Structure 1
Amino acid sequence: MECLGCIRAFFIGDPQIPQYTRLPPVHLDTQFMGENAVIVKNGHRLCGSGASLANHPIAQNKAYFEVKLQQGGTWGVGIATRDVDLNSLPLGNDFRSVVLRDDGCVVGAGTIRHRLPQQVQEGDVLGVAYDHIDLRFFLNGVDLQVASLGIKAEEVYPIVYVDGGAVIEAAFSSFHHQPPAGYQRILIEQSLL
């Protein structure tokens, strides 16, 4: 009889053994986040204080992802290299990141590259489109016309940061708005060998 219980548990699961939720292919990376950053909701929500990279780089020519500002505070979204300092906020002060900040400025290498024509509010969705040359931002599906040069690096990753009570939810698929023509979700590079 005991053997039947083992077989049953193998095929349909044992209620006493915890079931694990599989993380989506692209999500915020708990291995590359600031010391006081907190990632919840299956790797999609960032709160606390610090930054987090996505777990996969942007490998294809035209990639798109979104973030929703769940709660205001200090925040930023953009792209960065793997060696960015995830605890040094705000980002954009060196050559390792280019971000749109909560003050409406697109900043990279310590230089303000653009200012948004309007303020981002709680509940707004920011789209980020990157083609290895230009970094473009969208507010609730509308192109903000603030293209900025990206980072000269072999690999770049989506990055978000929060502080001061801000909460951001990242979406790497199942978007709120249609990506711009030719852009798609971040694809995971796979070896054919």
Structure 2
Amino acid sequence: MKFYVKLDVLTAAPSVLILKSGLRICSNGAARTNIPIIQDYAYYEVKLQNYGGSWGIGLCTVNTLLDSIQSLTNDSSCWILRNDMKIWSRGHVIGQLKQSVEEGDVIGVIYDKGKLRFTINGDTAHVYSEQTEQIPLFIDSTGEVLYPVLGVEDGTVLDVAFTANSFNYLPLSVEGFGEIKFQKEVTF
């Protein structure tokens, strides 16, 4: 039996639909992955398959309430980029992207030892906080493990890629970035 990273139907909001073997989310609600990010550097991609309503993508902890995009936005253990291109946590905007997106675009989510970055169609998305460029965005998960999280509402459909062979764009050309792994690699 082959194990792979996918959206977790067991912890997802009851009203959300998880399709395509755990790689598509639609309807209303949110879902996190079946495993946390255990390595220092990780990357995943989300394609805006049908951009009919609201969406949110980012990182959360195991305790994040997955009922709705609003619950992700308000949660103190979640950092979420929403369709308004604002990055939210604890009910407050903590950053904003100047770029806009449309149906068919691919958003990359980069986790780098407590830092969060985004790409749009393979290009770095610059995060601004009160008109000051702030790359990357620092997040404090107080030592808790983080999970990729996606939320949708009102007809939006998102497809997610967690493995290198399914990425549309390669992660940053920095050593160590890549797909989310099931086990941490130890080098001697």
Name 2:138's counterpart in structure 1.
Answer: 149
SS in 2 for 1:30: coil
Structure-2 separation of matches of 1:185 and 1:141: 15
Structure-2 separation of matches of 1:52 and 1:127: 17
Percent of aligned pairs with the same residue?
A: 37
Q: CA deviation at 1:34?
A: 0.6
Q: Which 4+ runs in 1 deviate beyond 4 A?
A: none
Tell me if the contact between 2:6 and 2:162 (Cα under 8 Å) persists in the aligned partners.
Answer: yes
2:8 aligned with 1:25: no
Q: TM-score, normalised by structure 1?
A: 0.83
Q: CA deviation at 1:49?
A: 0.4
2:168 aligned with 1:176: yes
Cα displacement string for residues 59-107 of structure 1 (whole angstroms, at most 9, x for unaligned residues)? 0000000000011110000000111111032222121200100011011
Q: CA deviation at 1:189?
A: 2.1
Q: CA deviation at 1:118?
A: 2.1
- RMSD over equivalenced CA pairs, Å: 1.8
SS in 1 for 2:73: coil
Q: TM-score, normalised by structure 2?
A: 0.85
Tell me if the contact between 1:37 and 1:46 (Cα under 8 Å) persists in the aligned partners.
Answer: yes
For 1:85, which of 55, 65, 74 is the aligned residue?
65
Tell me if the contact between 2:68 and 2:151 (Cα under 8 Å) persists in the aligned partners.
Answer: no
Note the residue ranges of structure 1 that are not aligned, 5 or more in a row.
1-21
SS in 2 for 1:42: helix
2:77 aligned with 1:96: yes
Which is higher, the Rg of structure 1 or of structure 2?
1
Name 1:110's counterpart in structure 2.
Answer: 91
For 1:139, which of 100, 116, 120 is the aligned residue?
120
